[in-house]
Structure 1
């Protein structure tokens, strides 16, 4: 009798584990199932109405919006493509099912610094494939030109670049590191002559250094990063064929005798990831499921966990994903939530514990915390 009870116990455990493993739904390439929010005791209607009514206020002509947004930067110019944007759009997923959507979710738009989270993903792939032995390695060991030469730049590791703590010094594609988001209290001579910080000791959000990471990864893969992302991530998760990842007009290099474009990590000077809302949601769903897509492990859970660890100098920033913790976080939203964020109110928000993914397009970024509060009040 005891043996029989034990076998019943094992059978129940097996069924429970099987149901748990199948709990999250994965959309096919041509079909994405929707469910009523009430099936999950959620009411996202107030948050959706809020998103519709709080559009990013700057011009839909993004070329003009970019020039205005970064007009305080010396020598700033548009180097890559731009595109006139659409209106507010977004999706809310629960367990992979669509429980809310608004706007044109098939429209391809610029996504600005959300691109950085895609770039970080290619870095994770490089480590998984053994192209990078360790993110603690110095990048100069992998990139053999002079971009990491000198007593300062030679100390920079992959993790420093991923955490934006490198303080890399130099010029790339015509952009000076010191001219990216400078303090308004300094003049040009002060910017140029600043004292360099030891790599790993100071955080600075800086697109020039992000582009240095993209260039370094291109040297490691020796093929264009959009092709790597397409083959290893976007095709396996059933993304559309409409997304594009651009660099600058002057960011072409020769690798093994072939011309390749080094892509940018955002749209600060044009370029970056152009993508629709649904493909952003698929990408978020991959991260929500610890890198697994319908039984296939595309990214290791260990690497994703590592990517969501803040640095010693900024607990809010992982490997180019923002972490909802510390001062200035979204109040009443769990601290385990992480997100990709871009200019103009582009966000991919991931809550692994509650199996939720949220994508917003062109929501006033200053209102994002209020939007998230409305959503979580109705969970």
Structure 2
């Protein structure tokens, strides 16, 4: 009889208790790992504090030597002169400008001073004294936000929500910004103005930019001429309307004292519409004339800082300009600290020397 009873089948369902236990163990292991990591970081920080405390006198001595060395070198080394200009790009010349500055620096690195003399139109003495060229964009954080806002307005509304400010900055190129600053460093008080003027001339004489410049000016001048002709016709027509109104008033014409155009429930005189249109055309003409003036030069100098150059003995450290004293303090203290760490590491490894 018992053989005829249905046999219990093995359940295919997952044991939820076992599953929760595995998940709990995973979380425990994870938090233990995080705890041990923070514990090790804290111990490393404590060790570092006591290590610095132990060798603080050596680090201070290294710092003092760095200050003295910086003062001595600042007094005895040859002065470096620096001069800068700020440029306004009226066309997309940025990439060409950056490539040009890079080319000049390559000539300096290769020692090809004859080529540098040729492209810049300077004397050999002046070319030999040049140390390097630098270029960077001049733009504030507020201007970057304005550019981002202008860029968003060019996109479809469905794409705007997918564009982030950080992504925009990452994809933005320095040479695309309208204002750029070029800096020249030299060992002598060169005629910096001559060099800067030659850099500008090299960009302005580019055949591609010259063609674009000529086409833009021609188009703008034709627009200005067309608006000027429209203004003449508008003034003539306005004078006709005014004469008609005066004549009608003189004749006491009760039927139509003025010529009007009905617009719904409101009415405005034709001469007023012509006057409004005249003002709008004059405004457009002023804007076009301003644009013509803005595009008069492909690239132009907006400001210049000391054509004869100013003394600059600063050092570059991690992209920042610092005084020689601070520079050598950081270098000597850093080298001293690394040397002490290396000696400590060697001493630690010597413990395992006999076990090898």
TM-score with structure 2 setting the length? 0.25
Considering Cα pairs closer than 8 Å and 6+ residues apart, tell me whether 1 or 2 has the greater RCO.
2
Over alpha carbons, which structure has the higher Rg?
2
TM-score with structure 1 setting the length? 0.24
